[in-house]
Protein backbone atom coordinates (compact mmCIF):
# COMPACT_ATOMS: atom_id res chain seq x y z
CA UNK A 1 0.00 0.00 0.00
CA UNK A 2 1.19 3.52 -0.79
CA UNK A 3 2.40 5.08 2.47
CA UNK A 4 0.64 8.34 1.58
CA UNK A 5 -2.65 6.42 1.92
CA UNK A 6 -1.75 3.86 4.58
CA UNK A 7 -2.15 5.02 8.17
CA UNK A 8 1.16 5.28 10.03
CA UNK A 9 1.37 4.82 13.80
CA UNK A 10 4.31 5.47 16.09
CA UNK A 11 4.08 3.71 19.46
CA UNK A 12 6.68 4.40 22.12
CA UNK A 13 7.82 1.54 24.34
CA UNK A 14 6.17 -0.97 22.02
CA UNK A 15 8.66 -3.82 22.07
CA UNK A 16 6.66 -5.61 24.80
CA UNK A 17 3.56 -5.51 26.98
CA UNK A 18 0.70 -3.13 26.30
CA UNK A 19 2.54 -1.31 23.52
CA UNK A 20 3.29 -4.50 21.65
CA UNK A 21 -0.31 -5.75 21.88
CA UNK A 22 -1.51 -2.34 20.71
CA UNK A 23 0.85 -2.52 17.74
CA UNK A 24 -0.42 -5.98 16.90
CA UNK A 25 -4.07 -4.96 16.92
CA UNK A 26 -3.48 -1.80 14.91
CA UNK A 27 -1.41 -3.80 12.43
CA UNK A 28 -4.27 -6.27 12.03
CA UNK A 29 -6.38 -3.29 10.89
CA UNK A 30 -3.88 -2.44 8.15
CA UNK A 31 -2.03 0.29 10.01
CA UNK A 32 1.73 0.40 9.52
CA UNK A 33 3.20 0.32 13.01
CA UNK A 34 6.52 1.87 13.89
CA UNK A 35 7.90 0.38 17.09
CA UNK A 36 9.76 2.86 19.29
CA UNK A 37 12.14 1.22 21.75
CA UNK A 38 15.44 1.90 23.49
CA UNK A 39 16.92 -1.55 22.92
CA UNK A 40 17.49 -2.24 19.22
CA UNK A 41 17.66 -6.01 19.62
CA UNK A 42 14.36 -6.12 21.51
CA UNK A 43 12.75 -3.68 19.08
CA UNK A 44 13.78 -5.73 16.06
CA UNK A 45 12.63 -8.92 17.77
CA UNK A 46 9.19 -7.34 18.27
CA UNK A 47 9.09 -6.23 14.63
CA UNK A 48 10.03 -9.69 13.39
CA UNK A 49 7.30 -11.23 15.54
CA UNK A 50 4.73 -8.84 14.08
CA UNK A 51 5.94 -9.44 10.54
CA UNK A 52 5.62 -13.19 11.08
CA UNK A 53 1.90 -12.53 11.66
CA UNK A 54 1.63 -10.57 8.41
CA UNK A 55 1.77 -7.12 10.05
CA UNK A 56 3.58 -4.21 8.41
CA UNK A 57 6.02 -3.06 11.08
CA UNK A 58 9.32 -1.22 11.44
CA UNK A 59 11.67 -0.41 14.31
CA UNK A 60 12.81 3.09 15.23
CA UNK A 61 15.13 3.89 18.11
CA UNK A 62 13.49 6.00 20.80
CA UNK A 63 14.85 6.63 24.28
CA UNK A 64 12.82 8.93 26.54
CA UNK A 65 15.93 9.63 28.63
CA UNK A 66 17.83 11.22 25.72
CA UNK A 67 17.19 14.89 25.02
CA UNK A 68 17.56 14.60 21.24
CA UNK A 69 15.57 11.37 20.81
CA UNK A 70 12.22 13.02 20.06
CA UNK A 71 13.70 15.15 17.26
CA UNK A 72 15.53 12.14 15.86
CA UNK A 73 12.25 10.24 15.68
CA UNK A 74 10.57 13.20 13.99
CA UNK A 75 13.33 13.45 11.37
CA UNK A 76 13.23 9.72 10.66
CA UNK A 77 9.44 9.67 10.24
CA UNK A 78 9.60 12.79 8.08
CA UNK A 79 12.15 11.16 5.79
CA UNK A 80 10.43 7.80 5.67
CA UNK A 81 6.75 8.75 5.47
CA UNK A 82 6.31 12.53 5.43
CA UNK A 83 3.39 12.30 7.87
CA UNK A 84 2.06 10.54 10.95
CA UNK A 85 -1.53 9.47 11.60
CA UNK A 86 -1.38 7.97 15.09
CA UNK A 87 0.87 8.72 18.04
CA UNK A 88 0.54 6.47 21.07
CA UNK A 89 2.58 7.71 24.02
CA UNK A 90 2.85 4.32 25.67
CA UNK A 91 6.31 4.34 27.27
CA UNK A 92 6.42 4.93 31.01
CA UNK A 93 8.09 3.89 34.24
CA UNK A 94 7.11 3.02 37.79
CA UNK A 95 9.74 3.27 40.55
CA UNK A 96 7.53 2.87 43.64
CA UNK A 97 5.37 0.29 45.33
CA UNK A 98 1.83 1.55 44.89
CA UNK A 99 -0.61 -0.69 46.68
CA UNK A 100 -1.29 -0.11 50.38
CA UNK A 101 1.13 2.73 50.90
CA UNK A 102 1.29 6.51 50.91
CA UNK A 103 4.84 7.71 50.37
CA UNK A 104 4.05 11.44 50.22
CA UNK A 105 6.16 12.15 53.32
CA UNK A 106 9.09 9.99 52.23
CA UNK A 107 9.41 9.87 48.43
CA UNK A 108 12.87 11.04 47.35
CA UNK A 109 13.63 13.72 44.80
CA UNK A 110 15.40 11.32 42.44
CA UNK A 111 12.28 9.13 42.18
CA UNK A 112 10.11 12.18 41.54
CA UNK A 113 12.41 13.65 38.91
CA UNK A 114 13.11 10.38 37.08
CA UNK A 115 9.41 9.48 36.98
CA UNK A 116 8.35 12.88 35.70
CA UNK A 117 11.11 12.90 33.08
CA UNK A 118 9.85 9.64 31.56
CA UNK A 119 6.11 9.89 32.16
CA UNK A 120 5.54 13.58 31.50
CA UNK A 121 8.39 15.70 30.15
CA UNK A 122 9.44 13.13 27.53
CA UNK A 123 5.83 12.69 26.40
CA UNK A 124 5.39 16.44 25.91
CA UNK A 125 8.68 16.65 24.01
CA UNK A 126 7.84 13.73 21.72
CA UNK A 127 4.33 14.98 21.03
CA UNK A 128 5.51 18.48 20.21
CA UNK A 129 8.22 17.11 17.92
CA UNK A 130 5.74 14.92 16.02
CA UNK A 131 2.87 17.40 15.88
CA UNK A 132 3.86 18.86 12.47
CA UNK A 133 3.65 15.35 11.00
CA UNK A 134 0.30 14.66 12.68
CA UNK A 135 -1.05 17.90 11.23
CA UNK A 136 -0.50 16.45 7.76
CA UNK A 137 -2.86 13.56 8.52
CA UNK A 138 -6.53 13.84 7.55
CA UNK A 139 -7.39 12.33 10.95
CA UNK A 140 -4.52 12.59 13.42
CA UNK A 141 -4.94 10.75 16.70
CA UNK A 142 -2.88 11.16 19.89
CA UNK A 143 -3.34 8.65 22.71
CA UNK A 144 -1.61 9.32 26.03
CA UNK A 145 -1.27 6.20 28.18
CA UNK A 146 -2.34 7.48 31.56
CA UNK A 147 -3.70 5.52 34.52
CA UNK A 148 -6.76 5.58 36.73
CA UNK A 149 -4.20 6.44 39.43
CA UNK A 150 -3.95 9.91 37.88
CA UNK A 151 -7.56 10.70 38.79
CA UNK A 152 -7.69 13.36 41.51
CA UNK A 153 -11.42 12.83 41.84
CA UNK A 154 -11.04 9.15 42.68
CA UNK A 155 -8.04 9.72 44.95
CA UNK A 156 -10.02 12.25 46.99
CA UNK A 157 -13.16 10.10 47.20
CA UNK A 158 -13.37 7.99 50.38
CA UNK A 159 -13.58 4.25 49.74
CA UNK A 160 -12.81 4.64 46.03
CA UNK A 161 -11.14 1.64 44.34
CA UNK A 162 -7.79 3.45 44.23
CA UNK A 163 -7.84 5.04 47.69
CA UNK A 164 -5.01 2.83 49.00
CA UNK A 165 -2.66 3.39 46.03
CA UNK A 166 -0.85 6.61 46.92
CA UNK A 167 2.56 6.37 45.22
CA UNK A 168 3.13 10.09 44.73
CA UNK A 169 5.64 10.17 41.88
CA UNK A 170 3.80 7.84 39.52
CA UNK A 171 0.32 9.13 40.33
CA UNK A 172 1.30 12.79 40.04
CA UNK A 173 3.08 12.17 36.72
CA UNK A 174 -0.12 10.68 35.30
CA UNK A 175 -2.18 13.58 36.67
CA UNK A 176 0.20 15.94 34.87
CA UNK A 177 -0.18 13.87 31.71
CA UNK A 178 -3.95 14.18 32.03
CA UNK A 179 -3.61 17.96 32.21
CA UNK A 180 -1.45 17.94 29.09
CA UNK A 181 -4.15 15.89 27.35
CA UNK A 182 -6.83 18.44 28.23
CA UNK A 183 -4.70 21.43 27.25
CA UNK A 184 -3.46 19.92 23.98
CA UNK A 185 -6.96 18.88 22.94
CA UNK A 186 -8.09 22.46 23.55
CA UNK A 187 -5.18 23.84 21.52
CA UNK A 188 -6.08 21.53 18.62
CA UNK A 189 -9.86 21.76 18.90
CA UNK A 190 -10.23 23.39 15.48
CA UNK A 191 -8.12 20.76 13.72
CA UNK A 192 -8.67 17.17 12.64
CA UNK A 193 -6.47 15.90 15.49
CA UNK A 194 -8.07 14.23 18.51
CA UNK A 195 -6.21 13.87 21.82
CA UNK A 196 -7.33 11.53 24.60
CA UNK A 197 -5.99 9.86 27.74
CA UNK A 198 -6.24 6.09 28.14
CA UNK A 199 -6.31 3.92 31.24
CA UNK A 200 -5.60 0.46 29.81
CA UNK A 201 -6.47 -1.32 33.05
CA UNK A 202 -4.30 -2.94 35.70
CA UNK A 203 -2.33 -5.31 33.51
CA UNK A 204 0.07 -8.19 34.19
CA UNK A 205 3.17 -6.44 32.83
CA UNK A 206 6.60 -5.79 34.32
CA UNK A 207 5.18 -2.50 35.55
CA UNK A 208 1.77 -3.80 36.67
CA UNK A 209 3.05 -6.93 38.39
CA UNK A 210 1.81 -10.49 38.58
CA UNK A 211 -1.07 -9.61 40.93
CA UNK A 212 -2.79 -7.48 38.29
CA UNK A 213 -6.18 -8.86 37.18
CA UNK A 214 -5.96 -8.08 33.44
CA UNK A 215 -4.02 -10.18 30.95
CA UNK A 216 -1.70 -8.50 28.46
CA UNK A 217 -3.79 -9.98 25.65
CA UNK A 218 -6.68 -7.68 26.66
CA UNK A 219 -4.61 -4.56 27.33
CA UNK A 220 -4.84 -3.00 23.87
CA UNK A 221 -8.56 -2.21 23.81
CA UNK A 222 -8.58 1.38 25.10
CA UNK A 223 -5.56 2.53 23.11
CA UNK A 224 -6.76 1.03 19.83
CA UNK A 225 -10.25 2.42 20.28
CA UNK A 226 -8.92 5.95 20.82
CA UNK A 227 -6.34 5.62 18.03
CA UNK A 228 -9.04 4.74 15.50
CA UNK A 229 -11.84 7.15 16.46
CA UNK A 230 -13.90 8.49 13.59
CA UNK A 231 -14.47 12.20 13.02
CA UNK A 232 -17.37 12.22 15.48
CA UNK A 233 -15.33 10.72 18.31
CA UNK A 234 -14.41 12.56 21.51
CA UNK A 235 -11.32 14.64 22.19
CA UNK A 236 -9.90 15.86 25.47
CA UNK A 237 -11.38 12.92 27.39
CA UNK A 238 -10.20 10.17 29.75
CA UNK A 239 -11.26 6.58 29.10
CA UNK A 240 -11.00 2.98 30.14
CA UNK A 241 -12.33 1.12 27.10
CA UNK A 242 -15.67 2.91 26.48
CA UNK A 243 -16.08 4.17 30.06
CA UNK A 244 -15.39 7.84 30.76
CA UNK A 245 -13.19 8.30 33.85
CA UNK A 246 -13.30 11.34 36.18
CA UNK A 247 -10.32 13.63 36.05
Chain-wide mean pLDDT for the chain?
92
Mean per-residue pLDDT for 198-220? 60
Q: Rounded distance, CA 16 to CA 44, Å? A: 11
- β 101-102/141-145 pair status: unpaired
Higher pLDDT, 131 or 204: 131
Average pLDDT over residues 91-120: 93
Instruction: With respect to residue 240, please indicate whether it lies within any of the assigned structural domains.
Output: yes
pLDDT for 4: 61
Show the CA angle centred on residue 85, arms to residues 83 and 86, nearest 5°: 130
Does residue 154 sit within a domain?
Answer: yes
Predicted confidence at residue 212, as pLDDT, reads 46
Pick from 225, 162, 232, 171: nearest CA to 196: 225
Strand 237-240 relative to strand 243-244: parallel, antiparallel, unpaired? antiparallel
The pLDDT score that the predictor gives to residue 208 is 46
Query: pLDDT tens for residues 216-241?
Result: 556 789 999 999 999 999 999 999 99
pLDDT over 90 at 71, yes or no: yes
Q: Is residue 1 part of a domain?
A: no
pLDDT at 203: 44
The number of angstroms, rounded, from the C-alpha of 204 to the middle of its chain's C-alpha atoms is 17
Torsion of CA 169, 171, 174, 176, to 10 degrees: -70
Residue 2 lies in a domain: no
The yes-or-no verdict on residue 177 having pLDDT over 60 is yes
Domain boundaries, position 182: 8-244
pLDDT higher than 70, residue 202: no
Q: Report phi then psi at 196, rounded to 5.
A: -140, 155
Question: What is the predicted pLDDT for the residue at 101?
Answer: 83
Q: Report the residue count for the chain.
A: 247
Is residue 207 within 8 A of residue 94, CB to CB? The reply is: yes
Contact 239, 233 (CB under 8 A): no
Per the domain annotation, does 176 fall within a domain?
A: yes
Instruction: Give the total number of structural domains in the chain.
Output: 1
State yes or no: pLDDT of 186 exceeds 50: yes
pLDDT of 172 > 60? The answer is yes
Does 3 fall in a domain? no
Residue 218 burial (CB < 10 Å; 0-12/13-18/19+)? middle
Under the banding of pLDDT at 50, 70 and 90, the label for residue 164 is: confident
Low-confidence winner among 64-78, 126-140, 216-230 (lowest mean pLDDT): 216-230
Residue 154 has pLDDT above 70, yes or no: yes
Give domain status of residue 152, yes or no. Answer: yes
What is the number of other CB atoms lying within 10 angstroms of the CB of residue 35?
27
What is the value of pTM for the model shown? 0.94
What CATH number is associated with residue 87? Answer: 3.40.50.720
213 pLDDT more than 60:
no
**How sure is the predictor about 100, in pLDDT bands with cuts at 50, 70 and 90?**
confident
Amino acid sequence: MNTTQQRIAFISGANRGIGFETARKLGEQGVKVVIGARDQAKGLQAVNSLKASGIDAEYLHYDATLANSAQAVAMALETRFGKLDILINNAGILKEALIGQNNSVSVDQETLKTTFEANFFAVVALTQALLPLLQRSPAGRIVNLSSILGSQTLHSTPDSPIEAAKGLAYNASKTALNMFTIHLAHALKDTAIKVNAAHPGWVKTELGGAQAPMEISDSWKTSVRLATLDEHGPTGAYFHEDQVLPW
